[in-house]
Amino acid sequence: MAASIDFDRVEVSLGGRTVLHELTLQLSERRIGILGANSSGKSTLVRCINGLARPRSGTVRVHGHDVGRETAKVRRLVGFLFSDADQQIIMPTVAEDLAFSLRGRPRAEIDAAVEASLQRWGLTDHADHPCHLLSGGQKQVLALAAILLTEPAVLIADEPTNLLDLRNVRRLAATLAALDQQQVVVTHTPELLADFDRVLVLEAGRVVCDADPAAAIAYYDALMR
Ligand SMILES: Nc1ncnc2c1ncn2[C@@H]1O[C@H](COP(=O)(O)OP(=O)(O)OP(=O)(O)O)[C@@H](O)[C@H]1O
């Protein structure tokens, strides 16, 4: 089955306005960045990949699976990291939140996976820590760790560094770079995309530039003047 994300003439309307216009794209590179002005349709585009946004017409497929028809299957393939980790931290403590990702599996399997995840992400000393007392950077790491426990093939991150200081921006960038998963990252921080494989620039619901990072970042910079 094709290991790509395919948009076929996708049109999305929200509140009576066309937010994405007849978008046809094949995303098969490992790391894809998305830049664009506020309201240009970036979040809507990535939300189509896991069915959070629904096209009025056209089809989105993830590894050959139609997002509209096989939403549950696609959501098992696609992890989604929001800019505000509070939106996706569900349980009271760090270990419980990680365990929640694996709910339904045998207890011993969950415990072993949570233990390994705590170690991988430097959270072992915070296992019983109330999530709401974590710093912004720690919350973002926890949200990412919880997503990765589900072993998604694709990771979507929508403005993941918005609430982070520069140190944590750099940490998150290094963390993302080291992951095996295909990644689609929306950001207002072009430097985050410097070593990506491909960068799209959106403007008013259309892809106006689709290039390597240097060319796309220069295009975006000129567009924002
Ligand atoms: N649920 C909704 N109902 C109506 N309009 C919506 C809805 N969600 C988004 N929109 C509109 O769709 C347009 C695109 O929004 P989107 O969030 O995709 O843009 P964006 O490029 O991610 O913006 P930002 O950089 O500000 O996060 C905006 O004009 C927004 O107001």
Q: Is pLDDT above 70 for 2?
A: no
1: pLDDT strictly greater than 60: no
**Res. 189 pLDDT band, cuts 50 70 90:** very high
- What is the value of pTM for the model shown? 0.93
Interval between CA 6 and ligand 1 midpoint (Å): 21
Average pLDDT, the chain: 94
Note the pLDDT tens digit of each residue in 52-103. Answer: 999 999 999 999 999 999 999 999 999 999 988 998 999 999 999 999 999 9
Atom index in ligand 1 nearest the CA of residue 45 equals 18
> Given this model, what pLDDT does residue 136 score?
87
Homologous superfamily of the 5-202 domain (CATH) = P-loop containing nucleotide triphosphate hydrolases (3.40.50.300)
CA 223 from centre of chain:
24
Rounded to an integer, the average pLDDT of 19-47 is 97
34 ligand 1 Cβ < 6 A:
no
Handedness of CA 81, 86, 88, 93 (dihedral sign): positive
The residue ranges of DSSP E strands in the chain, in sequence order, are: 5-14, 17-27, 31-36, 57-62, 65-66, 78-81, 154-158, 182-186, 198-203, 206-211
What's the CA-to-centroid distance between 158 and ligand 1, angstroms? 12
213 forms beta bridges with: none
| Domain ranges across the chain | 5-202
Q: State the ipTM, two decimals.
A: 0.96
pLDDT digits (tens, 9 = 90+) for 120-174: 998 999 999 999 999 888 899 999 999 999 999 999 999 999 888 888 888 889 9
Give yes or no for residue 19 CB within 6 A of ligand 1.
Answer: yes
In 67-141, beta strands by DSSP E: 78-81
What spacing in Å lies between the alpha carbon of 113 and ligand 1's midpoint?
37
For 33-68, give one letter per residue: b (16+ CB within 10 A) or e. Answer: bbbbeeebbbbbbbbbbbbbbebeebebbbbebbbe
Task: Please tell me the distance between residue 19's alpha carbon and the centre of ligand 1 in angstroms.
Answer: 7
Candidates 10, 13, 44, 46: which one to mutate for ligand 1, based on the most atoms within 8 Å of Cβ?
44
Share of the chain above pLDDT 70, in %: 99
